[in-house]
Structure 1
Amino acid sequence: MNKQVCEGTTIYYADEGKGDNVIVLLHGFCGSSAYWDDVIPLLSPHYRCIVPDLRGHGQSDAPKGAYSMEEMADDVLNLLQALDIAKASLFGHSMGGYIALSAVQRHPERFNAFGLIHSTAHEDTEEGKEKRLKAVSTIETEGITAFVDGMVPGLFAPQHLDSMADKVIKAKELGYATPPQGAVGAALAMRSRPDRRDVLTAAPLPVLLAAGEHDQVVPAARTFTADKPNIRQSVIGGAGHMSMMEAPRELAEVIKGFLVFAAV
């Protein structure tokens, strides 16, 4: 892992592959850049892959207090600037998709294309906002391990809990390593994020919307909220919320096919 201080925040990141075409992969809540371990080798022969540990996660700094999607997006933008990357294609998994939307909304000129992977442009429902507060309470009173043990099984398609037990364990172990204050800060950032469906409808950039066939966290209907000629919708068969672990080859092919469609 490499590291870069971005406006006072230290961000760790993987930098794999070479070339002028750069893709940035953002992980989800209580994950890390290691979520993409099975996908990076499939993309790096064709693209330079920048894969950060987001603020509050992995080895990156985890300040105390509530975060915002804008702060987390600015970390990514500052990292790209520090690496002298003028433009990239940005893909965000789950929470990473919320961060991608913030970055693209404010700085579309910095990107060639972007994608939401098991994510949505909707804001949290009222029920969802209550669940965020419950998550914060669980982390603060019972600890990050208890919270992750309750969260991770629901990320995978039910049939994969046994057949991919090793990947379920890996997702849990990455979650256990999340600093509790980082998980709390990120949960509050997700709770306060606005509806950004207008970013999809107004975006002049090519957009990928990828959903898992058996996603129990973000169903396809909440991912596929826009349909325009510049938007490509893909369903990853058999996958739950974690296609980067459950179906890495299929996800990599979806991303590569989209980038051909986007002429990147």
Structure 2
Amino acid sequence: MPEVQSHGIRISYDDHGQGEPALLFLPGWCGSRRVFDELSERCAQRRRTLTIDWRGHGSSARPTGDFGASDLADDALAVIETSKAELVVPVALSHAGWVAIELRRRLGARIPKLVLLDWIVLEAPPPFPGALQSLQDSAQWQQTRDQLFSMWLQGPDIAGLTHYVREDMGSYPFDMWARAGREISQAYAKAGSPLKALAGLDPPVPVLHLYAQPEDPGYLAAQTSFSASHPWFQVSKLNAHSHFPMYEVPDEMAKAIEKFVA
């Protein structure tokens, strides 16, 4: 597997397929790039795919010091530059969307579009900020994490999905979950919401949001309303139920991504 140095930290990634814009798959906090195995394999049949493990995650090296979302953007930039891909479309799972937005800020037209997967793109709902705070509390973090796992696993019983959440994500210690809670909290506090951050990009960038959770029809209605006044934004509710729809409907997602990128 290819590797690259990001400020002295070894970053591991996969590189498959051919054709630009290349897709750059960005996992969420506290999870490896394995979450994209099925989806990236399908996408690689049509174009080049790059799939990253963040520092401290998966096969990448674990830094001794603290790090944040800005460092993750550095990791992604290192992979982009080493790949020599000229045009790259980030495909960001959940709060990796903040990194995708930062990549557009840093690289401009080299990031011609963004694909967001199962993200809270509106302002954070009332229970969520409290959960992010609890993840930063050594006495509460495991209970909060397990509650999130139960919510994320709603839907069909899929062995690969259960293994990814309980074994892969479940392997990360308190300091990583606390870091995730801190960085996500700060991002919402600064931007208000992902949609507000996207609306602040000048010029705007075409965005596709594919999601399964929550089922609440009001969530889709709010995004559809936003799309009506911001035509660069598209949203699609997937025929899936978990927080990781790529384990349920990878074919549907690959087709939607290819249609949007092409």
Output the TM-score relative to the length of structure 1: 0.82
Query: What amino acid sits opposite 2:236 in the alignment?
Result: S
Per the alignment, residue 130 of structure 1 pairs with 130
Partner of residue 251 from structure 2, selected from 249, 255, 261: 249
Query: What amino acid sits opposite 1:197 in the alignment?
Result: L
Q: Evaluate the alpha carbon distance shift between residue 31 and residue 97 of structure 1 in structure 2; reply closer, same or farther with a 3 A threshold.
A: same
Query: What amino acid sits opposite 1:170 in the alignment?
Result: Y
Per the alignment, residue 234 of structure 2 pairs with 232
Partners in 2 of 1:235 and 1:125 — Cα distance?
19
Q: CA deviation at 1:42?
A: 0.7
Per the alignment, residue 150 of structure 2 pairs with 153
Q: CA deviation at 1:213?
A: 5.5
Per the alignment, residue 175 of structure 1 pairs with 169
Aligned pairs for 1:84-103 (under 5 A) are 84-103=84-103
1:67–1:188 CA contact under 8 A, matched in 2: no
Query: What amino acid sits opposite 2:35 in the alignment?
Result: Y
Q: Evaluate the alpha carbon distance shift between residue 77 and residue 120 of structure 1 in structure 2; reply closer, same or farther with a 3 A threshold.
A: farther
Q: Evaluate the alpha carbon distance shift between residue 34 and residue 147 of structure 1 in structure 2; reply closer, same or farther with a 3 A threshold.
A: farther
Output the TM-score relative to the length of structure 2: 0.83
Q: How many correspondences in the alignment?
A: 253
Aligned pairs for 1:56-95 (under 5 A) are 56-63=56-63, 67-95=67-95
Per the alignment, residue 182 of structure 2 pairs with 188
Q: Name the % identity.
A: 21
Q: Evaluate the alpha carbon distance shift between residue 169 and residue 77 of structure 1 in structure 2; reply closer, same or farther with a 3 A threshold.
A: same
Partners in 2 of 1:112 and 1:74 — Cα distance?
19
Query: What amino acid sits opposite 2:152 in the alignment?
Result: L
Q: Evaluate the alpha carbon distance shift between residue 242 and residue 90 of structure 1 in structure 2; reply closer, same or farther with a 3 A threshold.
A: same
The CA deviation string for residues 192-235 of structure 1, in whole angstroms up to 9 with x for no partner, is 1122434422453221112215458xx54676673133322211
Indicate the SS of the match to 1:226.
Answer: helix
The CA deviation string for residues 100-142 of structure 1, in whole angstroms up to 9 with x for no partner, is 12222343233121121111445646743331121122xx458
Q: Evaluate the alpha carbon distance shift between residue 230 and residue 35 of structure 1 in structure 2; reply closer, same or farther with a 3 A threshold.
A: same
Q: Evaluate the alpha carbon distance shift between residue 171 and residue 126 of structure 1 in structure 2; reply closer, same or farther with a 3 A threshold.
A: closer
Q: Evaluate the alpha carbon distance shift between residue 34 and residue 62 of structure 1 in structure 2; reply closer, same or farther with a 3 A threshold.
A: same
Per the alignment, residue 35 of structure 1 pairs with 35
Q: Does 1:18 align with 2:14?
A: no
Partners in 1 of 2:25 and 2:224 — Cα distance?
20
